[in-house]
Amino acid sequence: MNLFLSALKYVKSTIWKDEHSLGQIFDLAKKAFDCAKQDCTYGKRFFRLAGQSGSGKTSQLYYATSKYCSQKNIKPLHLAVRNFCEYYPDYQSIPVKQRREKTNGFCLKMLLFVLKFALESGIDIILEIALLGKNFEKYIIFMLKKQNYHSIFQIMSVNKLISDILLFKRKLKSGRQTLSSSANYFFCVQNKSFKYVSKNFDCPAIVWSAFNFEPVYFGSLKTCRKDFFKNQKRIESMTKNEDELKNEKFNFLISQFPDGAF
């Protein structure tokens, strides 16, 4: 079976169901990509930001990576599930607290189609999403190799108990809710997929803690899993300022990849 169709079949089989036709989603995804690509650069750079819900992908990794790109005059297309919510038909009629969970299935399919368009075009990409099922990751790996992308893999290594606490605090602070079923799904699928990804692809990899300045691991993607899972068992607490934490991640990227190449 075509690898994209296998990835699409996986996306349709997740816990987030959606009844919109693929034709409708294809048209909306094409519209979203055509709009978003206008200001992007085409250097075939791929930044993968991974980690379960509540691990700090957005607050720390995306902040540091987008700041790095800005410093290096790289203008990537940022792909995250949440970015496609407003393309959902009748989005405004959904109660605010239900919008993320209600639209997840639709948005995940949108993300896959836009990712396909982006990889085919050679555009610079930040993909901010937990590792998903094997068929999803297999398609991405195939396209990265086929299109000769230059990749950096970054993943947050955080104990599940801690990320659940951080999700609860986020809900109290911002009202943004992630259901436990979704958080559990991302956590379980990611840990299973990590083995496949690290065996079948290689690039510079950084394993981060949400609570320390220095990375847990920096080196080859193929040899990072042991450090990732070892750190994931640790119970850590936030003793450092989060602004300092995310800026230290930015500083590390600048120090290791000073010319914007990797």
What pLDDT is attached to residue 132? 95
Could you count the other beta carbons within 10 Å of the beta carbon of residue 46? 24
> What mean pLDDT is predicted for residues 104-131?
96
Query: What strand order describes the sheet that includes 150-156?
Result: 77-79, 125-128, 45-50, 150-156, 204-208, 217-220
> What mean pLDDT is predicted for residues 99-119?
92
* pLDDT at 182 exceeding the cut of 80: no
The percent of residues in the chain predicted with pLDDT above 90, rounded, is 67
* pLDDT at 90 exceeding the cut of 80: yes
Comparison of pLDDT for 151 and 239, the residue scoring more: 151
- Lowest mean pLDDT across 89-93, 98-102, 198-202: 98-102
The tens digit of pLDDT for each residue in 25-76 reads 999 999 999 999 999 999 999 999 999 888 889 999 999 999 999 999 999 9
d(CA 216, CA 172): 29
> Virtual CA dihedral for 223, 251, 168, 189, nearest 10 degrees?
-20
* pLDDT at 16 exceeding the cut of 90: no
Of the candidates 44, 45, 62, which has an alpha carbon nearest to the alpha carbon of residue 208? 62
CATH no. of 3-256: 3.40.50.300
What pLDDT is attached to residue 174? 62
Residue 105 parent element (H or E): helix 99-121
The three-point CA angle 44-59-94 to 5° equals 95
Comparison of pLDDT for 15 and 84, the residue scoring more: 84
What pLDDT is attached to residue 238? 65
